[in-house]
Structure 1
Amino acid sequence: MLRRLSLAIAVASAFSGTLQAADVPLSARTDLVTVYQDAVKNNADLAAARADLEATKELVPQARSGLLPQISGGASTSDTRTKLDEPSVTSTRSGIVYQANLSQPIFRADRWFQLKAAQATSEQASLRFSATSQNLILQTAESYFAVLRAQDNLAATKAEEAAFKRQLDQSNERFDVGLSDKTDVLEAQASFDNARAARIIAERNVEDTFQALTTLTNRDYNSLEGILHTLPVVVPAPNDAKAWVDTAAQQNLNLQASNYAVDAAEETLRQRKAGHAPTVDAVASYQKGDNDALGFSNTAASPVHYGSDVEQRSIGLQLNIPIYSGGLTSSLAREAYQRLNQVEQQREGLRRSVVQDTRNYHRAVNTDVEQVKARRQSIISNQSAVEATEIGYQVGTRNIVDVLDAQRQLYGTVRDYNNARYDYILDNLRLKQAAGTLSPADLEALATFLKPDYNPDKDFLPPDLAKTESQLKKGAHTEY
């Protein structure tokens, strides 16, 4: 008599072969929060964004310097020889001159607007850095759950391969005793070969996702804590797309940064237009040196010499009225106007994109909730379908192709269920990022549903849908 194939046998076979992660001590497994902390410390994109922020902040003191006093000092030495033909006189002047100059802008409209633009640009950079930091939260979750998704997919693929291998063995047994023909064996062999190829690809995907996590954090990980099937799968709160869009309009970090980009462009336009305005500076100077070096001589023919070094002080106002600069100022103003129009259009495009993303992710989360429920029920339905098909095959109303298709459908449903679970988690985080509310606390909340001893080969199915070990063994020895 031949053994009766069941889902229990296939899952039992999956239990017997564990992933490398299952052999890793619990203390060596890494949780989501630890991975995020590693990313904050070592992520190259975040470090680059931090450097950009610090560099951009320097625009403010640079612009402010144009409104503050400018002081310079120096010394010079020269040796000047003057010769006149009529009357024939030769004079020589030499010496060292020390000087200091002070200039204090009194009215410089262009520099004031430049400072305002720099301050807006600095605020924009701060928000860009915050957006990069927030995006790192999502990147960490995406990379972390990509590993878990790949591991669960591998576990389901291994269980499918085990099921097809057992079906192949039983087909060979049935063929040997004359209960089936060679076609059944070939069909089972083809399904097993395809499952084996899928398992090889799934193993590579696990390694690829671990490598992506290493790229993100510059750390190597042997195993990660898995997510429990008891994670609540609920609709967004509030479950109102407009409320989420309104929040995004106020709190989305990239959108806020674009507002400051417009402010900076407006101030830059004012700065360029102010190039037509007059400027007023208070100036003061001081010089001390030999009277010859300072030039205190009437003429070379009748030089006048002071008896000692000479000091010269001056203070006053300097007015400059721009009249024509070859059209440069007008051209710079036109350029600034177009730059302003550019960033305004970019902001509008970003606003529309944020609204679209927020609405899409809100719909996605609601869809994911229904998907998880539907896929879970589909597993139950497909389990029953597999068992019914096997019974039909036993009594001759179904053929081997029907059995293989039912098994293939079952494991496809298992993968769809796990994909729906991870899509739900990530779409929730993406919705919060679009709304500007995503924070490390969201990762900490998810971490409370991590299972330190998660074994993908055993836990890729919800516990209530998996058979107990005794039932599995019993099912594995059921006779036809």
Structure 2
Amino acid sequence: MLRKLSLALAVSCASNGMAWAAEAPLSTRTDLVSVYQEAVDNNADLAAARAQYGAQKEVVPQARAGLLPNLSAGADLNNTRTELDEPAMTATRSSTVYQATLSQPIFRADRWFQLQAAKSVNEQASLQLSATEQNLILQSAEAYFNVLRSQDNLASTKAEEAAFKRQLDQSNERFDVGLSDKTDVLQSQASYDTARANRIIAQRQVEDAFEALITLTNRQYNSIQGVVHTLPILPPAPNDAKAWVDTAARQNLNLLASNYAVDAAEDTLRQRKAGHAPTLDAIAQYRKGDNDGLGFTNPSPTGQRYGGDAEQRTIGLQLSIPIYSGGLTSSQVRESYSQLTQTEQQREGLRRQVVENTRNLHRAVNTDVEQVQARRQSIISNQSAVDATEIGYQVGTRNIVDVLDAQRQLYTSVRDYNNARYAYILDNLRLKQAAGTLSPEDLQALSRYLKPDYNPDKDFLPPDLAQAAAEQLRSRPAQ
């Protein structure tokens, strides 16, 4: 007689009789926070972002240098040979002059606005680095939970393969005793072969997910801790989309960075306009050298030159009034106007995108809450459908195709349930990132629901569902 295959029995077959990979010791299983710390220490993108910020923040001292004193020193060494035709004579003179020049800008409006723009660029770069660091939190969680998702999907696929294998064995038994025809065996064989192929793909997806984790952290992992099914599935707090949007408008890091980008563009425009303004510098110069080099003359009426060394000290103001530069300054002003408009529109586009993402993610989290509950109930309903279909098959009201389809839908509902669980976790983190509130403490909070001895082959289903399936199996006599 045909014996029914419940979900609990399939799980048992998958975890005991079909364990392709050995479980790693508990001491080697990595948790979520450890993965994040490894990413912080070893992630290449974050290291590049930090280096980029280190370069960008130098714009402030570079711009400030234009307003500070400038001191330079130098020396001139000359040898001059003069030849005259009439009267024929040749004269050679050598001169050595040492000099030092100190320049202090007094009025440089363009350089002042350049400094203000540099400060805004520095703040923008700092926020962009913070956004990259915050995004690494989400990347770590995505890579981590994608591994768990792929492991749970593999476990359910292995259980499905075990179910179809048992169904194939039962079909062969029925065929051998004349209770069914060859069609049942062929249908069962086809379903088993498909499940086996799906299991091979699922195994590769687990390996791919681990590779993504290795790329993120530059570390090898044998096994990671899984999420218990008692993780609270709750709506976002507060469950008000407008409140989340308002928070995002105030705290979204990319949006805050775009505000400083606009400030920098405005100051750059002021800098370009200041190109029309006069400039005033204080100049102090000291020169010492040969009289020939300095060009001193004797104050006597004969104009006889000194023959020894001489010193020269100069203090003064240097005023420069730009009159015409070929249209360069006016062109730069027009360019800055266009760049300011571009930056403002980019900020507005980003603001709209942040609002859209925040609202969508708020809806997504609420949908995920309902999805997890619905998918959980779907497993129970599909298990009941499998039992009813198998009974119908035994009494002749259903055929083998109905049984196989019911089992296929059961394991699809299992995968949908696990996918909904992980979607809920990640959408929560994405919502916090959109609002600008995502922090490592969110990973710490999730770590409280990690199970060090998590075994995907046994734990991909909630314990109460597996127990309910087992009780359901025991409550029905073998047919």
Place the TM-score, normalised by the shorter chain, in its bin.
over 0.9
CA gap of 1:124–1:19, structure 2 versus 1, over 3 A, is farther
Aligned to 2:70: 70
Q: Secondary structure at the match of 1:229?
A: coil
CA gap of 1:427–1:161, structure 2 versus 1, over 3 A, is same
User: Which structure 2 segments of 5+ residues have no match?
Assistant: none
Q: How far is 1:295 from its partner?
A: 1.9
How does 1:169-318 map onto structure 2 within 5 Å?
Answer: 169-297=169-297, 304-318=304-318
Q: Aligned pair 1:60/2:55, yes or no? A: no
Aligned to 1:341: 341
CA contact under 8 A between 2:6 and 2:473: conserved in structure 1?
no
Q: How far is 1:96 from its partner?
A: 1.3
User: 1:20 & 1:121 partners in 2: Cα distance?
Assistant: 54
How does 1:73-112 map onto structure 2 within 5 Å?
Answer: 73-85=73-85, 90-112=90-112
Aligned to 1:422: 422
Q: Secondary structure at the match of 1:23?
A: coil
CA contact under 8 A between 2:107 and 2:281: conserved in structure 1?
yes
Aligned to 1:364: 364
**Structure-1-length-normalised TM-score:** 0.96
How does 1:432-447 map onto structure 2 within 5 Å?
Answer: 432-447=432-447
Q: Secondary structure at the match of 2:158?
A: helix
User: 1:43 & 1:474 partners in 2: Cα distance?
Assistant: 52
Q: Which residue identity does 1:5 align to in structure 2?
A: L
Q: Which residue identity does 1:156 align to in structure 2?
A: S
CA gap of 1:91–1:453, structure 2 versus 1, over 3 A, is same
Q: Which residue identity does 1:123 align to in structure 2?
A: E
Let me know the Cα RMSD of the aligned residues. 2.0
**Structure-2-length-normalised TM-score:** 0.96
Q: Aligned pair 1:412/2:412, yes or no? A: yes
Q: How far is 1:19 from its partner?
A: 5.2
CA contact under 8 A between 1:152 and 1:418: conserved in structure 2?
yes
CA contact under 8 A between 1:157 and 1:198: conserved in structure 2?
yes
Q: How far is 1:85 from its partner?
A: 5.0
User: 1:6 & 1:287 partners in 2: Cα distance?
Assistant: 100
Q: How far is 1:479 from its partner?
A: 3.5
What whole-Å deviation, never above 9, does each CA across 1:396-449 have from its counterpart, x for those lacking one?
A: 111101110110000000000000000000000000000000000000000000
Aligned to 1:48: 48
Q: Which residue identity does 2:193 align to in structure 1?
A: D
CA gap of 1:18–1:49, structure 2 versus 1, over 3 A, is farther
User: 2:472 & 2:73 partners in 1: Cα distance?
Assistant: 92
User: 1:141 & 1:40 partners in 2: Cα distance?
Assistant: 13
Q: Which deviates more, 8-17 or 374-383? A: 8-17
User: 1:267 & 1:158 partners in 2: Cα distance?
Assistant: 63
Q: Which residue identity does 1:364 align to in structure 2?
A: A
Q: Which residue identity does 1:131 align to in structure 2?
A: A
Aligned to 1:382: 382
User: 1:201 & 1:334 partners in 2: Cα distance?
Assistant: 58
CA contact under 8 A between 1:19 and 1:456: conserved in structure 2?
no
Q: Secondary structure at the match of 2:318?
A: strand
How does 1:126-205 map onto structure 2 within 5 Å?
Answer: 126-205=126-205
Q: Secondary structure at the match of 1:322?
A: coil
Give the total of aligned pairs. 477
User: 1:230 & 1:20 partners in 2: Cα distance?
Assistant: 27
CA gap of 1:18–1:165, structure 2 versus 1, over 3 A, is closer
CA contact under 8 A between 2:2 and 2:394: conserved in structure 1?
no
Q: Which deviates more, 27-36 or 95-104? A: 95-104
CA gap of 1:415–1:433, structure 2 versus 1, over 3 A, is same
Q: How far is 1:11 from its partner?
A: 2.1
Q: How far is 1:265 from its partner?
A: 0.5
User: 1:272 & 1:155 partners in 2: Cα distance?
Assistant: 64
User: 2:183 & 2:166 partners in 1: Cα distance?
Assistant: 16
CA contact under 8 A between 2:29 and 2:222: conserved in structure 1?
yes
Aligned to 2:448: 448
Q: Secondary structure at the match of 2:223?
A: coil
CA contact under 8 A between 2:7 and 2:469: conserved in structure 1?
no
Q: Secondary structure at the match of 1:326?
A: coil
Aligned to 1:460: 460
CA contact under 8 A between 1:116 and 1:267: conserved in structure 2?
yes
What whole-Å deviation, never above 9, does each CA across 1:294-350 have from its counterpart, x for those lacking one?
A: 222479xx7723253100000100010111111111111111111111111100000
User: 1:89 & 1:316 partners in 2: Cα distance?
Assistant: 41
Q: Secondary structure at the match of 1:208?
A: helix
User: 1:234 & 1:22 partners in 2: Cα distance?
Assistant: 35
What whole-Å deviation, never above 9, does each CA across 1:367-394 have from its counterpart, x for those lacking one?
A: 0000000000111111111111111111
Q: How far is 1:478 from its partner?
A: 6.0
User: Which structure 1 segments of 5+ residues have no match?
Assistant: none
User: 1:210 & 1:281 partners in 2: Cα distance?
Assistant: 63
Q: Secondary structure at the match of 2:101?
A: strand
Q: How far is 1:154 from its partner?
A: 0.3
User: 1:17 & 1:241 partners in 2: Cα distance?
Assistant: 49
User: 2:357 & 2:174 partners in 1: Cα distance?
Assistant: 56
Q: Secondary structure at the match of 1:259?
A: helix
What whole-Å deviation, never above 9, does each CA across 1:36-89 have from its counterpart, x for those lacking one?
A: 000000001100100011101100000000000111001111112334556666
CA contact under 8 A between 1:26 and 1:452: conserved in structure 2?
yes
User: 1:195 & 1:472 partners in 2: Cα distance?
Assistant: 25
CA gap of 1:470–1:355, structure 2 versus 1, over 3 A, is closer
Q: Which residue identity does 2:168 align to in structure 1?
A: L
